[in-house]
């Protein structure tokens, strides 16, 4: 990923756009964070947030007319958050938190004429930027602020803010009247001059202030700037003056530094933001009215009012995805992490696990207002990792082994219908259905052949695991291999039960006419929902998210069976992955557990699915889960409560299914089993879950034991009668601890590792 691509990714996620209140604040105050601090009753933090952007804070926080409230998303849901009142409440309860930091002196002088609020703000900002400011007024500085009732601005507060300005180095001078002569004199000693409309200017000086450029507050005469143009009738008189004073100060700074007044200048947002915030689950809640006569909130009222804040965020994707929650941030930040991960030359690639944990299910893309696809981000990152040889070898090892086994001659079977020389269709159950439900695979094959006699059968794998693991070359090769065999069959229609296979074929091999079995079958005559079956929650596989036709076909089939469905909001195009997709379960089993728990917590109903991996994964939670084949073929139905099959059983089922088809259907001679398959093995039952977790197959165990018999090499315990042996299969070293009883092996322990040991010979 290069910088440009990173920017593109980042720009899609709008979570960092300001909330409406900030966008509606001419000073860009982070009102959301401020209000959230008020929810906690944390006045200090709240004040610190205001101090970041607010000039003359003691005054601004007291009298700002809060135009932000006009844009607040709460507006029509009980009334905007009273940000203004909350600021008042904060400012009177917490003292100043941080020092005002001024930049080191730039050795340049600037003048401010008039003592109105806009002039004070211009002086404040310019002093902060390191300029020597002289403020000249004809009355006491503060202008119309001094006329405010003392309950609104106590005189000592104004005095305090003026003292702050003085401390910042602002030099106060007075003149009897502010005339063009005074301006001319100031110009001789200052590079730029600000003339505050809200000060007491004489008419002639006022006349000089025509034709101001609204964006920069620059006057036609070079070096002159103005502001404070709002009059007493103006709804937002104070904040407008403040904003203009600030805009002018920014221009004056640019002018004195000799840079363009307009280039890359942040535009005022006037409430505009691209932040999306869902109001779907937000209930109306009325604004809290202060109970005291001075119109101020009590601490309790302030908290209650603050609690109404929606805390506007997008996070549409994060709200629903356990994976996105797990890593604590949101896609904009995640895309930066992926980028940084690639930029690392030396050191730990901390984002590897993150990249490999995504199930690539695509829910985020549907939810995101800008179609941000974490799936694409992560898949492409994986592909680059593989290409650059940075992919952790163990990340997807087991799934890839399983896939390669399914594609090997030991397990793969491709046949025309028995007695047929051509096939108009071929049944491709998908590698996992064949492994988990061999009986139902055959039942379904029968059923299809009852409709189309010449339907062939293909027990294999579509290569999805290679795709998910980022292994482009391997995936392409599997596709090419598939095409070759498929053409040899006469390019038949491919009928599959697996949404992942269907997705792979459609994306990768568009010339193959691939169809979902569910969209072409009618229920067999004897099929029906068992009597009194409660409504089931139908979970669509994530790879069928965009396959509306299959989703509808499955629902029709279920309706024909008389099975009622329970409500499951996140289904159809919003469905969730079971953790098998994208090989999440391989790279992050812990996370998969959370994903599954979250999924079953969404309904109290039992589940129904048409993906065998969804069935097996969801069943791990203990929730009853049926596969649609259990309804279609009652005579082969498995209990919804049945625990998921282990890895070794799946492997054995695959092997047995091929043999059964060869013998029963095609009358073929079965090739003799491999020698290691003859090893007589007994496994202590408490060891089974450990083998499952460590992903050690009984096939692996038998092979290691057979190799031990061949070599005659093992360790024997001096007194305990146990033996220890190991062998390397592929990249993995397997260790077995066992007792040999006659010719039967009683396995007691098994473990594995990848590091290669070698004794150093002296």
Which residues lie near other proteins (CB under 8 A)?
347-350, 352-353, 392-395, 694, 712-720, 724, 726, 733, 735, 737, 749, 751-761
314 near ligand SF4, judged by CB under 6 A: yes
Q: How far is the CB of 343 from other proteins (least distance, A)?
A: 15
- The least distance separating ligand SF4 from the CB of residue 71, rounded to whole angstroms, comes to 6
Is 403 or 577 the residue whose CB approaches ligand SF4 more closely?
577
The SS3 call for residue 290 is coil
Minimum distance of other proteins from residue 663's CB (angstroms) = 41
| Residue 752 contact, options other proteins, ligand SF4, none, Cβ 5-8 Å cut-off depending on partner type | other proteins
Q: What b/e readout covers 20-29, taking b as 16+ CB neighbours within 10 angstroms?
A: bbbbbbbbbb
**Residue 484 backbone dihedrals phi, psi, to 5 degrees:** -60, -50
Closest CB to ligand SF4 among 66 and 133?
66
Shortest Å distance, C-beta 152 to ligand SF4: 23
CB of 47 to ligand SF4, least distance (A): 17
* Interacting partner of 433 out of other proteins, ligand SF4, none (Cβ under 5 to 8 A depending on kind): none
> Binding to ligand SF4 (CB under 6 A): which residues in 63-92?
72-74, 81, 83
Binder of residue 81, out of other proteins, ligand SF4, none (CB less than 5 to 8 A by kind): ligand SF4
Closest Cα partner for 552 from 604, 516, 528?
Answer: 516
- Quick one: tokens of 239? 């904040």
Q: How far is the CB of 78 from ligand SF4 (least distance, A)?
A: 10
Minimum distance, C-beta of residue 307 to ligand SF4, in the bound complex (Å) = 11
Buried b (16+ CB within 10 A) or exposed e, 47-72: bbbbbebbbbbbbbbbbbebbbbbbb
Q: Does 33 bind ligand SF4 (CB under 6 A)?
A: no
Q: What is the DSSP letter of 670?
A: P
CA distance 396 to 580: 12
Other residues' Cβ atoms within 10 Å of the Cβ of residue 572 = 17
Beta bridge partners of 752: 734
Are the CB atoms for 89 and 295 separated by under 8 Å? no
Q: Which of 45, 165, 43 is nearest to 100 (CA)?
A: 165
Nearer to other proteins, 317 or 696 (CB): 696
Out of 245, 331, 456, 492, the only residue in the binding site for ligand SF4 (CB under 6 A) is 331
SS (H, E, C) 142-178: CHHHHHCCCCCCCHHHHHHHHHHHHHCCCEEEECCCE
Q: Is the distance from CB of 362 to CB of 373 less than 8 angstroms?
A: yes
User: 336 to 395, contacts with ligand SF4 by CB under 6 A?
Assistant: 367-370, 372
CB 157 within 8 A of CB 59: yes
Q: 750 with 725: CB under 8 angstroms?
A: no
Residue 350, contacted partner among ligand SF4, other proteins, none, CB below 5-8 A by kind: other proteins
* From candidates 194, 238, 323, 330, binder to ligand SF4 by CB under 6 A: 330
Residue 435 and residue 654 in contact, taking contact as beta carbons nearer than 8 Å = yes
729 C-beta neighbours (distance < 10 Å), count: 15
Taking CB under 6 A as the criterion, the residue among 309, 358, 360, 464 binding ligand SF4 is: 309
Contact 157, 88 (CB under 8 A): no
Using the contact rule CB under 6 A, the part of the chain among 9-17, 494-502, 577-585, 608-616 near ligand SF4 is 9-17
Among the listed ranges 182-190, 305-313, 614-622, 714-722, the one in contact with ligand SF4 (CB under 6 A) is 305-313
Helix (H) or strand (E) holding 748: strand 744-753
Q: 194: Cβ–Cβ under 8 A, 6 or more apart, which residues?
A: 110, 111, 112, 113, 119, 122, 123, 126, 225, 226, 227, 245, 248, 249, 252
Q: Taking contact as CB under 6 A, which single stretch among the options 38-46, 248-256, 330-338, 575-583 is the one that binds ligand SF4?
A: 330-338
Q: Which does 327 bind (CB under 5 to 8 A by kind): ligand SF4, other proteins, none?
A: none
Q: Which does 611 bind (CB under 5 to 8 A by kind): ligand SF4, other proteins, none?
A: none
DSSP 8-state code for residue 727:
E
Tokens of 310: 């929606």
Q: How many residues appear in the chain?
A: 762
310 binds, among other proteins, ligand SF4, none (CB under 5 to 8 A by kind): ligand SF4
Q: Which structure tokens are listed for 368?
A: 């995101």
Contact call for residues 164 and 136 (beta carbons, < 8 A): no
- Least Cβ distance, residue 681 to other proteins (angstroms): 19
Place of tokens 């340049």: 108
Contacted by 568, from other proteins, ligand SF4, none: CB < 5 to 8 Å by type: none
Give the one entry of ligand SF4, other proteins, none that residue 72 binds, where binding means its C-beta sits below a cut-off of 5 to 8 angstroms depending on kind.
ligand SF4
Whichever of 316 and 699 has its CB closer to ligand SF4, that residue is: 316
Q: How many chain residues interact with ligand SF4 (CB under 6 A)?
A: 31
Rule CB under 6 A: is residue 31 a binding residue for ligand SF4? yes
Report, in Å, the least distance between residue 716 CB and other proteins. Answer: 5
d(CA 462, CA 481): 10
Residue closer to ligand SF4 by CB (options 40, 671) is 40
CB of residue 458 to other proteins, shortest distance in Å: 35
Residue 330 binds which of ligand SF4, other proteins, none (CB < 5-8 A, kind-dependent): ligand SF4
Tokens representing 694 are: 């460590």
- Binding-site ranges for ligand SF4 (CB under 6 A): 13-15, 19-21, 31-32, 35, 72-74, 81, 83, 309-312, 314-318, 330-332, 367-370, 372
């Amino acid at each position: 990923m290069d910088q440009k691509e990173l920017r593109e990714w980042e720009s899609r996620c709008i979570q960092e756009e300001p909330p409406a209140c900030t966008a509606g604040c001419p000073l860009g105050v982070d009102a959301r964070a401020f209000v959230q601090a008020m929810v906690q009753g944390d006045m200090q933090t709240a004040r610190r947030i205001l101090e970041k952007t607010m000039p003359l804070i003691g005054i601004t926080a007291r009298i700002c007319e809060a135009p932000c409230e006009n844009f607040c998303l709460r507006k029509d849901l009980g009334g905007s958050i009273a940000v203004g009142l909350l600021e008042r409440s904060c400012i009177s309860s917490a003292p100043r938190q941080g020092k005002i930091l001024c930049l080191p002196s730039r050795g340049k002088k600037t003048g401010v004429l008039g003592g109105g609020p806009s002039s004070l703000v211009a002086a404040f900002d310019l002093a902060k930027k390191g300029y020597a400011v002289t403020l000249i007024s004809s009355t006491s500085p503060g202008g119309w602020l001094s006329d405010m009732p003392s309950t609104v601005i106590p005189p000592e507060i104004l005095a305090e803010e003026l003292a702050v300005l003085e401390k910042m180095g602002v030099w106060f001078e007075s003149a009897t009247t502010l005339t063009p002569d005074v301006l001319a004199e100031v110009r001789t000693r200052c590079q730029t001059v600000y003339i505050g409309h809200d000060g007491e200017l004489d008419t002639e000086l006022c006349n000089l202030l025509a034709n101001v450029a609204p964006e920069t507050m620059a006057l036609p005469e070079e070096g002159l700037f103005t502001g404070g143009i709002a009059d007493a009738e103006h709804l937002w008189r104070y904040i407008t003056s403040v904003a203009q004073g600030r805009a002018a100060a920014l221009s004056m700074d640019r002018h004195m530094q000799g840079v363009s007044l307009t280039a890359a200048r942040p535009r005022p947002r006037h409430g505009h933001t691209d932040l999306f915030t869902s109001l779907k689950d937000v209930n109306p809640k009325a604004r809290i009215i202060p109970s005291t006569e001075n119109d101020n909130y009590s601490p309790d009222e302030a908290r209650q009012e603050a609690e109404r804040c929606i805390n506007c965020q997008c996070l549409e994707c994060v709200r629903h995805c356990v994976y996105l929650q797990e890593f604590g941030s949101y896609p904009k930040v995640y895309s930066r992490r992926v980028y940084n991960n690639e930029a690392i030359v030396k050191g730990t690639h901390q984002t590897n696990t993150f990249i490999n944990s995504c199930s690539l299910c695509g829910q985020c893309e549907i939810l995101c207002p800008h179609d941000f696809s974490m799936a694409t981000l992560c898949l492409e990152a994986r592909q680059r990792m593989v290409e650059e040889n940075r992919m952790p070898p163990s990340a997807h090892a087991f799934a890839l082994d399983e896939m390669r086994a399914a594609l090997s001659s030991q397990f793969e079977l491709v046949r025309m219908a028995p007695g047929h020389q051509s096939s108009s269709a071929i049944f491709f159950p998908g590698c996992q259905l064949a492994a988990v439900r061999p009986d139902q695979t055959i039942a379904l094959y029968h059923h299809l052949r009852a409709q189309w006699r010449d339907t062939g059968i293909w027990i294999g794998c579509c290569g999805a695991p290679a795709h998910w693991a980022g292994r482009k070359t391997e995936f392409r090769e599997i596709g090419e291999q598939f095409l070759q065999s498929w053409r040899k069959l006469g390019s038949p229609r491919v009928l599959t039960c697996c949404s992942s296979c269907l997705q792979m074929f459609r994306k990768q091999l568009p010339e193959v006419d691939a169809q979902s079995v569910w969209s072409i079958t009618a229920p067999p005559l004897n099929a029906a929902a068992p009597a009194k079956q409660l409504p089931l929650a139908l979970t669509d596989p994530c790879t069928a998210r965009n396959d509306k036709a299959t989703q509808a076909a499955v629902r029709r089939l279920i309706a024909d069976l008389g099975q009622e469905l329970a409500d499951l909001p996140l289904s159809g195009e919003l469905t969730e992955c079971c953790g098998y997709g994208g090989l999440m379960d391989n790279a992050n089993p812990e996370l998969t557990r959370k994903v599954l728990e979250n999924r079953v917590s969404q309904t109290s109903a039992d589940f129904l699915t048409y993906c065998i991996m969804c069935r097996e994964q969801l069943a791990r939670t203990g929730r009853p889960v049926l596969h649609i084949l259990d309804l279609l073929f009652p005579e082969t139905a498995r209990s919804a409560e049945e625990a998921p099959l282990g890895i070794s059983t799946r492997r054995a089922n695959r092997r047995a299914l091929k043999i059964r088809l060869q013998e029963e259907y095609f009358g073929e001679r079965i090739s003799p089993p491999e020698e290691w398959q003859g090893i007589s093995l007994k496994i202590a039952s408490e060891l089974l879950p450990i083998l499952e977790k460590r992903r050690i197959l009984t096939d692996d165990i038998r092979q290691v034991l057979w190799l031990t018999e061949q070599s005659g090499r093992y360790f024997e315990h001096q007194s305990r009668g146990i033996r220890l042996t190991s062998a390397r299969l592929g990249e993995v070293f397997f260790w077995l601890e066992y007792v040999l009883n006659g010719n039967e092996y009683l396995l007691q322990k098994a473990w594995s590792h990848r590091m290669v040991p070698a004794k150093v010979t002296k």
